[in-house]
Each structure stands twice: as C-alpha cells, then as structure tokens.
C-alpha cells in the first residue's frame, strides 16, 4: 500500500467514532495508570527536545491521524515548514515555550513519557501493553499498521 493510501485509511479510521472511542479509552487508561504512579512533570520541555535529551517518540499511523484530524486554531497545524524546523532543531513541532500545544490530543508515547527518574522503571511495561492494544485496534478495524518516528509520521500528513 502506498503512502497516500495509508494516510487515507488512517484518516478514515481517525474519523470513525467507534475507532476513536477505543483509542480514547486506551489513552484514558494511560492517564489512570500514570496517576497511580504519580510521576512529576516539571514542564521543562525535555520530553519534546528529542535530540538534546537522546530519545525518540514513536507512534502508529492511527495515532498520527488522530492528532492531525483534531488540529484547530487552538492546536496549531502541522505543515512541512514547521516539521522541517522541528527536525532541524531536534524537537517536536508542537512544542511552544516548553509546553505541548496539542496536549489533549497527543499520542500515547507523549502521555507515558516522563523524565522524572522514578518513572523510568514502569513506563516500558505500560507502553508495551497499551501499544499492543492500539495494534489490536488497527487489526480489528482493518486499519493498516505502521509504527514510526513522530515527525516522520506527521510528515505523511503535512500539507
């Protein structure tokens, strides 16, 4: 399947109320699991400065489409220019003044990652469990599955 067909399939799924309900339930579970652990977010913005802090954010095609479908004036658009700038600076195109401009519609990896040292031991297990559920959501609904780096996946949707 070519990239254009993938993007179309992902966007269709991200607009399907039944698919969205399951994805949002997975995201809600992540919020609950995190609340039980109580990691601290000091809004340093390190989570969004991938190169500087030596990590990457990976998402599924459905997650990227979910975010892209919900961009509004409140959540700035992602275009080729903002992506190129984010790649050149090593960060996320949605980070503004150390804050996430798409916080309510961010993907699972953003929801689970905390730079708080006490969070390092349990994040991986929760991530693997919930990523398996998202993969199952793709499979159950016949949505093509691809897992890739956040900015590269956003690039497939950029105008």
Mean pLDDT, the chain, whole residue set: 85
Q: Which residue has the higher pLDDT, 109 or 159?
A: 109
Query: 82-95, pLDDT tens digit by residue?
Result: 888 888 887 888 88
Q: Are strands 99-100 and 147-149 parallel, antiparallel or unpaired?
A: unpaired
| Spatial separation of the C-alpha atoms in residues 66 and 102, rounded to whole Å | 11
Tell me the domain boundaries of the chain.
3-155
pTM: 0.87
3 is written with which tokens? 């990239």
Query: 128-154, pLDDT tens digit by residue?
Result: 999 999 999 999 999 999 999 988 999
């Amino acid at each position: 399947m070519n990239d254009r067909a993938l993007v179309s399939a992902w966007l269709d799924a991200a607009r399907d109320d039944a698919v969205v309900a399951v994805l949002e339930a997975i995201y809600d579970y992540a919020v609950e699991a995190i609340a039980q652990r109580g990691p601290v977010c000091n809004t340093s913005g390190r989570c969004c400065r991938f190169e500087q802090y030596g990590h990457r954010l990976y998402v599924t095609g459905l997650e990227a489409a979910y975010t892209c479908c919900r961009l509004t004036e409140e959540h700035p658009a992602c275009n080729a220019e903002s992506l190129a700038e984010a790649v050149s600076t090593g960060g996320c195109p949605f980070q503004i003044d150390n804050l996430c401009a798409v916080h309510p519609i961010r993907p699972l990896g953003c929801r689970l990652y905390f730079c708080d040292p006490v969070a390092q031991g349990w994040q991986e297990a929760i991530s693997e469990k919930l990523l398996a559920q998202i993969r199952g959501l793709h499979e159950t609904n016949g949505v093509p599955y691809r897992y890739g780096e956040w900015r590269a996946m956003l690039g497939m949707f950029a105008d």
